[in-house]
Chain A
Amino acid sequence: MIVAEKKPIEEIIDYVKDFQKLLIAGCNECVTVCEAGGKKEVGILASALRMYFMNEGKKVDIDEVTLERQCDHEYLEEIRDRIDQYDAVLSLACGVGVQFMAEKYFSTPVFPGVNTCFMGAAEERGVWSERCQGCGQCILGKTAGICPISRCAKRLLNGPCGGSTKGKCEISKDLDCAWQLIIDRLKELDRFDEYEQIMPIKDWSTERAGGPRKVVREDVRL
């Protein structure tokens, strides 16, 4: 899923302090699961902002809505008939949802309520970690199912570097060395001899480097 973190309330207040009618829009997908922008977080933020403005002597109306997804037209359409009532929208969706909201409701200011962090997994309750950078050409089949691009601090395709110490990365003792994990699993899979194959220079044109990306599937288009 896409993992996000709540923005500090101070930053949000700074975005919305000059508006009178606000819609706080949550998203029922990834940001709900990582407890950053679901219905519950919408409620907490709305309550906090209401009290803040009240205390400041400002009259601000704040409504709450949580859409099934903000990255799909059909769910965003659900608020079309009332979007004009609001001076601004505070979207607690990931960066994708915030932008899709802004594209769809072109004349309404839209502000982000979360910091979108990465594509990752829930390691345990309250701990999420990165697993994928969407490079567009998956090499997991060659790296024992562990991604050195997202999990090695230097995204080395032929690691580990000389900084790998006791299974940890040179930049932090809390971070596993991705190449240690790869080697451990290659051994487990009885494929350790593959370690000596040199991974060729990567074509990064399918990654961010190649410019904004698009997937077009003629077979599923209407």
Chain B
Amino acid sequence: MSTRTPSKLEKILAAGHLAVTSECGPPRGSDPEAITRKAEMIKDYVDAINITDNQTSMTRLCSLASCIHLKKMGVEPTLQMVTRDRNRIALQSDILGAASFDIYNILCLSGDHQNFGDSAQGQNVFDIDSMQLIQTVRLMRDEGKFLGGDEIKRPPQMFVGAAANPFADPFEIRVPRLAKKIAAGVEFIQTQCIYNLEKFELWLKQARDRGLHEKVYILAGVTPFKSAGMAKYMKNRVPGMDVPDEVVKRMSGVPKEKQAQEGIDICVETIQRLKEVEGVKGFHIMAIEWEEKVPEIVERGGLYPRPKVVDD
């Protein structure tokens, strides 16, 4: 497949390699080392690093500034952008700001409701939704135009991504929704953490039946459990998360001090199994505040070393 942007992630995918991305949450403070330290640990094991945008609505150092820190250390960032906090002026402005630092990947999201975070009494914006943000970035990139119709000088060159949650309800619209995002112009997808492999494979089969896997690169999302407690929490408390009972049972079945290793094992086994599934083009490893384990997961998952691609 040919590429449309200077994104390394896009090149790797276009060359037919399994891509590996990971993500870092910025700190709740202004210390840049909180980002660079995490990035340093994983940079040789992944192709790009997502920086979350005030995830779970907790106020943090902004995604754009964090991405610039990554860029300065030679790591390829993926700017996550939610439509919760910014109207179309601010969204387009931040996209240009990112483009001015040659940030080449963007992940378009609507964002968790502010109800979950430290500013439950705040306003939300939702001027546009994630679907429309995808359209916006594509318009800015491909036609060099603002939403208002004016021309952009030096348009952004961004590889456009979005999230997909195969496990949210109602299941029957999960594939149509993917099709809708593709129609909006999305080029890569990072999925919600996968624990229910049967359901994920069913979703992917339905996507394949419509040929959607040929139209978008799907990166399977994985998150290692640190403990049985975390598995239970994700199962019961995180909206849109599907953790089967067997997985919780497997985590609870080992002694506490061995649970972390068990979590890593489950994660590696997931990667090994999904690598063989048609339509999986890579992995998105979300090791929440556990970045130091990413190298082990990548290596044991058979995804190391990372391929080299030639810069334009």
Contact = CB atoms under 8 A, between A and B. Distances in A.
Given A162-B192, A170-B240, A196-B176, A156 B129 contact: yes
A163 interface: yes
Contact of B110 (A161, A165, A201): A161
Contact of B131 (A164, A166, A180, A198): A198
A196 B179 contact: yes
Contacts of B147: 201
Nearest to B165: A162
A163 B239 contact: yes
A48 interface: no
A154 B124 contact: yes
Interface in B217-266: 239-240
Interface string B83-106: 010001000000000000000000
Interface string A152-183: 01111111111111110011000001001001
A151 B243 CA distance: 28
A164 B115 contact: no
Contacts of B168: 160-165
A154 B110 contact: yes
Given A158-B180, A196-B180, A198-B131, A166 B113 contact: no
B210 to A, nearest CB: 11
B183 interface: yes
A13 B112 CA distance: 40
A75 interface: no
Contacts of A180: 169-170
Contacts of B165: 162
B5 interface: no
Nearest to B240: A162
Contact of B173 (A166, A183, A204): A183
Nearest to B163: A162
A195 interface: yes
Interface size class, chain A: 20 to 34
A66 B136 CA distance: 52
A164 B128 CA distance: 19
B240 A198 contact: no
Given A154-B84, A177-B169, A180-B170, A164 B124 contact: no
Interface string A84-128: 000000000000000000000000000000000000000000000
B143 to A, nearest CB: 15
Interface size class, chain B: 35 or more
B169 A158 contact: no
A201 B132 contact: yes
Contacts of B192: 162
B132 A164 contact: no
B129 to A, nearest CB: 5
Given A164-B170, A195-B176, A201-B147, A159 B115 contact: no
Contacts of A161: 110, 130, 168
A128 B163 CA distance: 35
Interface in B47-80: none
A163 B131 contact: no
Contacts of A201: 88, 128, 132, 135-136, 147
Contacts of B132: 157-158, 198, 200-201
B207 interface: no
A159 B165 CA distance: 12
Given A154-B113, A156-B129, A164-B240, A195 B173 contact: yes
Contacts of B130: 156, 158, 161
A165 B239 contact: yes
B240 A158 contact: no
Contacts of A160: 168-170, 173
Contact of B239 (A159, A170, A200): A170
A161 B168 CA distance: 8
A198 B110 contact: no
B126 to A, nearest CB: 5
A157 B184 CA distance: 13
A20 B110 CA distance: 53
B184 A198 contact: yes
A137 to B, nearest CB: 15
A163 B114 CA distance: 13
Given A165-B168, A201-B128, A201-B132, 6 more contacts: A154-B113, A164-B170, A164-B240, A170-B116, A171-B113, A180-B169
25 contacts: A154-B84, A156-B129, A157-B129, A158-B129, A158-B132, A160-B170, A160-B173, A162-B163, A162-B164, A162-B165, A163-B112, A163-B168, A163-B240, A164-B240, A165-B168, A167-B170, A170-B112, A170-B240, A171-B113, A177-B169, A195-B180, A196-B180, A198-B135, A201-B132, A201-B135
Interface of A: 153-167, 170-171, 177, 180, 183, 195-196, 198-202, 204
The 6 lowest CB-CB distance pairs between A and B, nearest first, are A162-B165, A158-B131, A170-B239, A163-B239, A162-B240, A156-B129
